[in-house]
Amino acid sequence: MAGAQEADTPQIYLVTPPEFELSEFPARLDDVLDAHAVACVRLALATRDEDRIARAADAVREVCHRADVACVIDTHIGLAERLGLDGVHLTDGSRSVRAARKALGGDAIVGAFCGRSRHDGMTAGEQGADYVSFGPVTASGLGDGTFAERELFAWWSEMIEVPVVAEGGIDADAIRSLRDVTDFFAIGEEIWNTPDAAQALATLKAGLS
């Protein structure tokens, strides 16, 4: 995953729904990848059923690799290599970065979600994370309602070389606000909860121009 400094605009990083039908979702993903340039897809299932994850990973990986798009998995370091994925996205900040890098090697993608913590993000980068994500980027009724403000992304993009991802509550206003200070926008249920995911992504991407 290259940083947006190497491109004109931030890149799109897709996140799968936490639950989906194997008979339907791969085709929806294929439609989106056919219509849009995407840097990476994250398999982010809520289930801890290993067989279910494996079957989903096989289907999603096939679609991604056919489109020459990297595919990573949430959390499960041990499954990433076994399932032929390109890396792992860690949801516990910097705590598992060193272990993931050791287990998966230098070529794997290792990313870390660090909430709103500048310190945790810096630690993740120092320990070998390829990218750090912050979020949510808009206020909601979830959790305590706090969010990662633009100032965090602006500081990071100016001071830190590790690419940064904005995720959680992405809408057109957030994209317009953050497009100059982030490398990637992670987009998931913002589009999958609509009838036409490819069109929904096109609408969101309008904020990049």
The upper half-sphere exposure of residue 144, i.e. CA atoms within 13 Å in the direction of its Cβ, equals 5
Sign of CA dihedral 119, 122, 128, 129: positive
3-class SS of residue 75: coil
Catalogue all structural domains in the chain, each as residue range(s) with its CATH number: 4-204 (3.20.20.70)
Average pLDDT (11-29) is 97
pLDDT value of residue 2: 46
Q: pLDDT band for position 15 (50/70/90)?
A: very high
CA angle 30, 133, 195 (to 5 degrees): 30
pLDDT at 132 over 80: yes
pLDDT at 66 over 50: yes
pLDDT tens-digit profile of 70-101? 999 999 999 999 999 999 999 999 999 999 99
Q: Is 75 left (phi over 0), alpha (psi -120 to 50) or beta?
A: left
Residue 64: partners with Cβ closer than 8 Å, 6 or more residues away: 29, 33, 41, 70, 71
pLDDT at 113 over 70: yes
pLDDT value of residue 104: 97
Mean pLDDT over the full length of the chain: 94
pLDDT at 142 over 70: no
Average pLDDT (45-73) is 97
